[in-house]
């Protein structure tokens, strides 16, 4: 089928919940993807920070094929070696020692909220304005953006919001009924918003003082995206619960909430569960994906390439007055414009580079961590051409 035929069929049969580009992708390899017409693109968005290893990484593909031949799924009422091994690996790379496996970022956050409430026996969750934590009813309520939740009222009780980056607002919001604070270490969907230096450490200290749990939502920032395995490591903080998803399975949908035994033990059999969570296929994919991340030193490459890309983008900033700010960390970068960025996305796509627009005026770049210098140069050259056409 060609692009138009696919679009027509989609519009007829798929609920129209996505504002899509007029592009039908068929396959990818490394940092490149192809559309059904045979055109290639440099993927600078990596499926919303999912394809950290690029597309079709041979080790992940092999692990999936091998596992699919043995067993795709079995119930969580049985043990599997794949689940136990993945959980062990997650504890080795994170500051936690117990894991619950889920299927999506929203589900991991739901689980984290349930765990915090069960452990503390308290109900209130404090989140931040402009945050994004998912689309289920509890996570959309935690999300600090009205547009995502207004049509879906009534929303669950027990959530309140404070400005991101303001420690005094957080301190004032805590009450004796507060179970946890949920935060993104960098607000991704909200426009790649970096908190002020020291904020996360201050939040950690505040949580300790007030006996409140800190849930760090690393769904977007985890697995090397920001130049550390987890963004919490930039300030050396120790969250009580970390949630991860996106890049975890090398493209395969799998997620986790991770905690320390003291807190994790609040969950007893029957308290939480998922039919598909931690299925052998997902676990095999995630174990392979994390091993590739470690074997190929992709976390330090993310830092190195991220610094290079940010430096090149700063050069563009000095050329175009409508570039307000370049910010980010590792390979999660935002280019804030004073103009609407939808046209930039469209024009960059026509020139063979896929980028994303978030929060209306921010170009979000989140390429695979395997991106090389030549490819980074191509991204910057294409953006340069697009910006030149727009000025
Ligand atoms: C920080 C953060 N948390 C949670 C989610 C929700 O993840 P999912 O779409 O896998 O449910 C996202 C998705 O963009 C995210 O960026």
Tell me: the pLDDT tens digits for 102-112?
Answer: 999 999 999 99
Tokens describing residue 88 = 């062990």
Give the range of the structural domain holding residue 37, as residue numbers without chain letter: 3-56+297-390
pLDDT at 242 over 90: yes
CATH number at residue 359: 3.90.1150.10
Residues 152 and 78 in one domain: yes
Last residue within a domain, chosen from 295, 323, 350: 295
Number of structural domains found in the chain = 2
**Of 212, 209, 152, 146, nearest in space to 183 by CA:** 212
Which of 246, 256, 257, 276 has most ligand 1 atoms within 8 Å of its beta carbon, as the pocket-test mutant? 246
Same domain, 247 and 291: yes
CB of 184 shorter than 6 A to ligand 1: yes
Compute the distance between CA of residue 201 and CA of residue 204 in angstroms, rounded to an integer.
5
Do residue 259 and residue 379 come from a single domain? no
Whether residue 141 has its Cβ less than 6 Å from ligand 1: no
On whether residue 130 sits in a domain, the answer given is: yes
Residue 32's pLDDT is what? 98
Question: Does 137 map to a domain?
Answer: yes
132 noted as active-site residue: yes
In the listed set 247, 278, 295, which residue is the last one of a domain according to the structure?
295
Region 213-241 average pLDDT = 98
**Can you tell me the mean pLDDT for 353-366?**
96
- Whether 61 maps to a domain, the answer reads no
Annotated binding site: 105-106, 132, 135, 217-220, 274-275
Task: Indicate if ligand 1 lies below 6 Å from the C-beta of 189.
Answer: yes
Residue 146: per-residue pLDDT: 96
User: Of 295, 324, 356, which one is at a domain's C-terminal end?
Assistant: 295
pLDDT in tens, 192-217: 999 999 999 999 999 999 999 999 99
Q: Which of 113, 127, 134 to mutate to test the pocket of ligand 1 (most atoms within 8 A of CB)?
A: 134
What local confidence, expressed as pLDDT, does residue 152 receive?
Answer: 97
On whether the CB atoms of residues 215 and 183 are closer than 8 A, the answer is yes
Q: 165 CB less than 6 Å from ligand 1?
A: no
Rounded distance from Cα 189 to ligand 1 centre (Å): 8
- At residue 340 the predicted structure's pLDDT band, cuts being 50, 70 and 90, is confident
Do 135 and 34 fall within a single domain? no
Taking residues 314-322, report their average pLDDT.
97
- The Cα–Cα gap between 206 and 214 comes to 9
CATH code (residue 205): 3.40.640.10
Residue 65 lies in a domain: no
Query: What is the average pLDDT across 342-363?
Result: 96
* Mean pLDDT along residues 248-276: 98
**Mean pLDDT for all residues in the chain:** 98
Distance from the alpha carbon of residue 136 to the mean position of ligand 1, in angstroms: 10
pLDDT at 309: 98
| pLDDT per position as a tens digit, 61-87 | 999 999 999 999 999 999 999 999 999
* Mean of pLDDT values over 22-34: 98
Same domain for 232 and 117, yes or no, is: yes
Q: Are residues 136 and 158 in the same domain?
A: yes
Query: 356 in a domain, yes or no?
Result: yes
Whether 134 lines ligand 1, by a CB cut-off of 6 Å, is yes
Does the structure show a pLDDT above 90 at 384?
yes
Query: Does one domain contain both 204 and 304?
Result: no
The verdict on residue 220 lying in a domain is yes
Do 380 and 350 share a domain, yes or no? yes
Within-domain flag for 19: yes
Q: Rounded to the nearest whole angstrom, what is the distance from the C-alpha of residue 129 to the centroid of ligand 1?
A: 16
Residues 233 and 360 placed together within one structural domain of the fold: no
* Same-domain check for residues 254 and 168: yes
Q: Are residues 14 and 136 in the same domain?
A: no
- Mean pLDDT along residues 47-69: 98
Domain membership of residue 253 (yes or no) is: yes
Closest C-alpha among 89, 93, 153, 163 to residue 126 = 163
Do 44 and 160 reside in the same domain of the chain?
A: no
């Amino acid at each position: 089928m060609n692009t138009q035929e696919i679009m027509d069929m989609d519009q007829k049969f798929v609920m129209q919940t996505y504002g899509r580009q007029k592009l039908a992708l068929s396959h990818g390899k490394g940092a490149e993807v192809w559309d059904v017409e045979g055109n290639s693109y440099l993927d600078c968005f990596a499926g919303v920070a999912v394809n950290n290893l690029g597309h079709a990484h041979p080790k992940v593909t092999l692990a999936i094929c091998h596992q699919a031949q043995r067993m795709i799924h079995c119930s969580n009422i049985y043990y599997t070696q794949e689940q136990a091994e993945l959980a062990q690996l997650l504890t080795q790379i994170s500051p936690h020692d117990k894991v619950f496996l889920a299927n999506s970022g929203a589900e991991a956050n739901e689980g984290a909220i349930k765990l915090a409430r069960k452990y503390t026996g308290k109900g209130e969750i404090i989140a931040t304005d402009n945050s994004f934590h998912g689309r289920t009813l509890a996570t959309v309520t935690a999300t600090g953006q009205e547009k995502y939740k207004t049509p879906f009222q009534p929303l669950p009780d027990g959530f309140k919001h404070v400005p991101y980056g303001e420690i005094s607002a957080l301190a004032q919001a805590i009450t004796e009924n507060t179970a946890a604070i949920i935060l993104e270490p960098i607000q991704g969907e909200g426009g790649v918003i970096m908190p002020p230096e020291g904020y996360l450490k201050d939040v950690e200290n505040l949580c300790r003082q007030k006996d409140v749990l800190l849930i760090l939502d690393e769904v977007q920032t985890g697995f090397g995206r920001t130049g550390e395995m987890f963004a919490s490591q930039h300030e050396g903080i120790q969250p009580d619960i970390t949630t991860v998803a996106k890049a975890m399975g090398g493209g395969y949908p799998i997620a986790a909430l991770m905690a320390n035994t003291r807190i994790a033990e609040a969950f007893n059999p029957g308290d939480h569960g998922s039919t598909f969570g931690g299925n052998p296929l997902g676990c095999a994919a995630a174990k392979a994906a994390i091993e590739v991340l470690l074997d190929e030193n992709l976390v330090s490459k993310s830092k190195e390439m991220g610094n290079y890309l940010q430096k090149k983008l700063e050069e563009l900033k000095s050329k175009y007055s409508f570039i307000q700010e370049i910010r980010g960390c590792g390979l999660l970068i935002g280019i804030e414009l004073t103009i609407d960025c939808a046209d930039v996305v469209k024009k960059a796509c026509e020139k063979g580079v896929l980028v994303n627009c978030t929060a209306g005026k921010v170009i979000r770049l989140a390429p695979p961590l395997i991106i090389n210098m030549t490819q980074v140069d191509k991204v910057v050259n294409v953006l340069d051409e697009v910006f030149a056409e727009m000025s």
